[in-house]
Structure 1
Amino acid sequence: MTHVRGRVWRHGKPVDDFVFSEISDCLAAEDTLVWCDIYDPDHEILTDLGDELALNAWAVEDALADAERTKAVVYKTHTFFTVYGVTVKSPAPEDMSESTLEIHRISGFVLPRGLITVRLSPHFDIDTVSRRFDELGGQEYGVGSLVHGLLDVIVDGHFDAVQALDDGIEGLEDDLFDGSARADLQRRTFQLRKDLVALRRVVLPMREVVTVIQHRRMDAKTAPELDPVYADLYDHVLRASEWTESLRDMVTTVFETNLSMQDARLNVVMKKLTGWAAIIAVPTAITGFYGQNVDYPGIDTVGGFVTSSAVIVLLVIVLFVMFRKRDWL
């Protein structure tokens, strides 16, 4: 079922007269700014809206598609973009091998006097976007301020997700070197790698989206005041991208270190087993020699038994001391 909400600003001040059926009139009015958010849109409703507002048909189809990559496309009368918001599950799942991230797709149509957002996920907090509009207080600068507010919320979510993954990797490092074997360490490492790959797919393309919107804004000449805030937003996108790339190196290092430590522990076990096997071989060799069916010095005498036992004990002690000095036991 399609859910629609919206807000209208006139002369930079909010007014409470948004009506979805009259959105064309609002967008045509001077000194008016419109934000319309559509959740779970019906194909027919969005298609009719696209025809009414002369939106590109392919862009409308992309907004309704089940999967679409992060991108921004500039058309003659509007700009279309698709971005992905990321939220961290709270509280964290008890099974740390489960994903801690939720990814939500948001598509947008940027018109000269309005922004239309299309969402397929109900879990993205759109109220945060509305509050961010009011906090920025830049509605008098036009639709560019609305787009910036939305992208600012998206990028803040990326930072929260990167921070959560960073904390998770630090937890893996602590478990890796605390000396206790964790059966789920390998599984948690793989899950973090999966989350990081998914996050990287939505964070890195944001540079292209912000660049396109920043340099090809329709209101670039009428609202130059937004240039610094878009430059700051692009800087945040770069920082999130670089942080994501560094985390990929970190989780790869943790994975490889874990394998190296497993190999090292296996080598220690094999070394100790080999040392004990060498010690056990000495009495086995001596008793095996005296088990031959031939006469030998000291046979059937107490002195022969004591001598062979003393040789066994002496050689075992010598081997034990030698292996212990070499850290083989």
Structure 2
Amino acid sequence: MLVTLALVALEPMTLRRGGTVTVTEWALFRDGRRQDGVGYPEAVDAARSGDGFVWVGLSEPDQERWRKAAADFGLHPLVVEDALDPRPSPKLAHYDGVVSMVLRTVRYVRHEGPERNEMLDTGALTAVAGAHFVLTVARGDPGTLDLALRRLEEQPKLLAQGPTALLYTAADVTVDGYLDAAEEFEEDLTEIEAAVFADVRDNQAERIYRAKRELLTLRRAVLPLSHPVRELSQPAPGILPSKIQAYFREVSGHLDRVHTLLAGHDETIASMLQANLAQLSVSQNNDMRKITSWAAIIAVPTAIAGIYGMNFRHMPELRWELGYPGVMLLMAAICLGLYWNFKRRGWL
């Protein structure tokens, strides 16, 4: 049975509870088909009565808008509070047959020119799925939700599984975004690694620490999601249909791959940092050797000139006609000898 997903932008409307809520997008499905010509209040009533299911999407809602929308579907107060958190952590909760999942979206932005690339924590997506409805609250970049909806359009059999299909698709798109970011991040690590071991070496500590910070940004989004995805991929009656749980096992596999990539990136960054510090230490030692060598060479004429500059009346060779050229030749010979010795040892 083919299901067509329609996204309809609406103006603020009056609900049965007497309040108003701005619904960004919504769609009603009955028997696997979109129902045209049905108003939002009628769609909510149909979902309440079990006559089809409705998807409602809100973007950047304030507390009043979200609470009134949640009240139409009788959501648990804790679900409402999770969606209102401005900086939510990825998590999974289920209350009275309703599954709530919070996702953090991350993307990697490549800049042209001298600007640095950066990992962006672009927002959060909360998806709340019941037996006959699914509500989504998007904060920040709405690209994840848009892509998830497009994927559902292309997979009508998956959409026919009901509201939790959007839960899976949103998680799948989010984890795919993590994979893309991790792979693009790896390209930058390769560039930094090449710079660390280049013939012309500069201090790459700033770039390495910046990469470390970006890796932490990605890890903060990825690591908390492991437990929710693992829980949804395991048999748990009353939470998800068995077919959707099978899809989540695939998401769990992708997430494990992200963990493997991030662990490898962390080891690469640690190795580059150690190599960079070792090179700095070697460079400083070389500089100290050069300074010490030149100081030793300069000390010879300084010492001889200082001795003969004391102007005592009775000093050897003061009245010798060849004294001046003899001392100059002596200083030059000693300095050249020291220079040759230091050069042979690699200090200069």
* TM-score range normalised by the length of the shorter chain: 0.7 to 0.9
Report the identity percentage.
24
Whole-Å Cα distance in 2 between the matches of residues 233 and 76 of structure 1? 25
1:126 maps to a residue whose letter is L
In structure 1, distance between residues paired with 2:114 and 2:36: 44
Shift of 1:95: 2.5
RMSD of aligned Cα (Å): 2.6
Q: What corresponds to 1:314 in structure 2?
A: 333
Residue 233 (structure 1) shift: 0.9
Task: Give the Cα–Cα distance (whole angstroms) in 2 for the partners of residues 111 and 310 of structure 1.
Answer: 98
Answer yes or no: is the 8 Å Cα contact 2:28–2:35 preserved in 1. Answer: yes
Deviation string 1:121-168 (CA, Å, 9 cap, x unpaired) is 245343211111123331222333221111111001111221232222
CA deviation string 1:48-85 (max 9, x = no partner): 23222121112102201212221101112201111101
The answer for the alignment partner of 1:284 in structure 2 is 302
The answer for the alignment partner of 2:71 in structure 1 is 51
Structure 2 gaps of 5+ residues are 1-11, 13-21
Which residue of 226, 236, 243 corresponds with 2:254? 236
Give the paired residue count: 325
Give the corresponding residue for 2:290: 272
Is 1:262 equivalent to 2:263 in the alignment?
A: no
Between the aligned partners of 2:294 and 2:113, the Cα distance in structure 1 is: 45
* Offset from partner CA, 1:284-309 (integer Å, 9 cap, x none): 22222333414344323332223222
Aligned to 1:106: 125
> In structure 2, what residue type is equivalent to 1:237?
L
Which residue of structure 2 aligns with residue 88 of structure 1?
108
Q: Which residue of structure 2 aligns with residue 22 of structure 1?
A: 42
State the one-letter code of the partner of 1:84.
R
Residues 81, 217 of structure 1: CA spacing in aligned structure 2 closer, same or farther, 3 A cutoff?
farther
| TM-score (norm: length of structure 1) | 0.88
Q: Deviations over 1:235-262 (max 9, x none)?
A: 1011112222322232233333323322
- What is the alpha-carbon distance in structure 1 between the residues aligned to residue 187 and residue 39 of structure 2? 45
Q: Which amino acid aligns with 1:236?
A: H
Moved more, 137-146 or 227-236: 137-146
- For the 8 Å contact 1:108–1:117, the answer to whether it is kept is yes
The 3-state SS of whatever aligns with 1:72 is: strand
**CA, structure 1 residues 106+145, in 2 after alignment: closer, same or farther (shift >3 Å)?**
same
Structure 1: give runs of 5+ residues left out of the alignment.
none
Q: Which residue of 2 aligns with 1:39?
A: 59
Match of 1:160 in 2: 180
Asked if the contact 1:85/1:154 (under 8 Å) is kept, the reply is: yes
1:93/1:100 contact within 8 Å kept? no
- One-letter code of the match for 1:252? A
Q: What is the rounded CA distance, in whole Å, between the counterparts of 1:314 and 1:200 in structure 2?
A: 64
Question: Counterpart of 2:149?
Answer: 130
Is 2:71 aligned against 1:65?
no
Stretch of structure 1 that moved more, 233-242 or 117-126: 117-126
Q: Is 1:84–1:202's contact at 8 Å kept on the other side of the alignment?
A: yes
Q: Is the 8 A contact 1:27 1:113 kept in 2?
A: yes
8 Å Cα contact 1:72-1:82 kept in structure 2:
yes
Q: Which moved more, 1:211-220 or 1:101-110?
A: 211-220
> Is the alpha carbon distance of 1:257 and 1:139 closer, same or farther for their aligned partners in structure 2, counting shifts above 3 Å?
same
Look up the match of 2:138: 119
Partners of 1:40 and 1:288 lie apart in 2 by 80
